[in-house]
Amino acid sequence: MGAGRALPEAFLWAFAGGIAQDLLSGVPLGASSLALLLVAMLGSLLQGQLYRSNIVIPVFVTLIGSVIAHVTVLTVMALTGYSVDWAYSLVYVTAPTTLLNVVLILPIFLVMSRLYERLNPRIEAF
């Protein structure tokens, strides 16, 4: 799959996954899609670096992306009339979810970086 096709496909999956998440969670329809599209845009800025880098960039993107996604959903909920307890939500939902995502990115990074190297080997110049 070429880089030109990967980006629109990532946005499609972010949109579809967000709609499915909204249907299962009860938040306003489109809130999770918006959140995941924002995170996909963040990931696209570093697309070539995510799997060929050290672990710092994927951990950073996961950390920032998790916070952006949760704050976006909370903002949409607040703007559409839901009562949002910001302190509770950030401490008891966003923080643990972000921590879990950061911990889980470590084994995911190892698997995905090996897969990426296998599918996109570096060409050594002589």
Structure confidence at residue 4 (pLDDT): 53
Q: How far apart are the first and last CA of the chain?
A: 27
Structure confidence at residue 43 (pLDDT): 80
Q: pTM of the predicted model, to two decimals? A: 0.79
**Over the chain (126 residues), what is each successive 10-residue block's mean pLDDT?**
64 95 94 94 73 76 94 97 97 97 92 84 70
Structure confidence at residue 38 (pLDDT): 93
**Of 42, 98, 43, 94, nearest to 73 (Cα)?**
94
Distance CA 124, CA 114 (A): 18
74 in Cβ contact with 66 (< 8 Å): no
Structure confidence at residue 97 (pLDDT): 97
